[in-house]
Amino acid sequence: MERTFIMIKPDAVRRRLIGEIISRIEKRNLDIVAMKMLTPSRELAEKHYSVHRGKDFFEPTVEFLCSGPVVAMVVEGENSIAIMRRMIGSVDPLESAPGTIRGDFTISSRENLIHGSDSPESASYEISLWFPELTNN
């Protein structure tokens, strides 16, 4: 079974969309094998977005992630990365299809409700950051 990292971001938590998002994951028959709510430290947020360091959106993105609680999850299932990416929808609200999480609930590319790993490599890295207890380091 494939594992992916999913994070419900501070805007979705503030808007009380946690249950809606978790319900959609469960309805796709994916398993949430680990979950926790926390307000990320700046260090954790910077590590999470380290591939974007130096880009103009890095600082505001890190600040946003640290602005309140998030729900971090490890989701498992066959093709979980691709399935979750399709469920999440495009970062661009004009391209995010109705029926996707972003297509149904967001109008901002900066505050876009949810993050999902985009590859097995990023999933492994992100899971090790947010759930070090699940990795064999």
Q: What is the pLDDT of residues 24-63, one digit of tens each?
A: 999 999 999 999 999 999 999 999 999 889 989 999 999 9
CB 59: neighbour CB atoms within 10 A? 13
Whether residue 110 is predicted with pLDDT greater than 90 in this model: the reply is no
Domains identified in the chain and CATH numbers: 2-134 (3.30.70.141)
Q: What is the pLDDT of residues 122-135, one digit of tens each?
A: 999 999 999 999 97
115 is a catalytic site residue: yes
What is the dihedral sign for C-alpha 95, 76, 66, 104?
positive
Whether residue 109 is predicted with pLDDT greater than 90 in this model: the reply is no
**Structural tokens at position 50:** 């380290």
**Rg over CA atoms, the chain:** 14
Of the residues 115, 117, 130, 131, only one is catalytic, namely 115
Give mean pLDDT, residues 62-87: 98
**Structural tokens at position 136:** 């064999």
Rama region for 99: left / alpha / beta (φ>0; ψ in -120 to 50; rest) = left
Q: What does pLDDT average to over the chain?
A: 95
Nearest to 41 by CA among 22, 69, 17, 20: 69
d(Cα 40, Cα 62) in Å, to the nearest integer?
Answer: 9
Between CA 111 and CA 120, with CA 116 as vertex, the angle to 5 degrees is: 150
Q: What is the pLDDT of residue 93?
A: 86
What pTM was computed for the model? 0.94
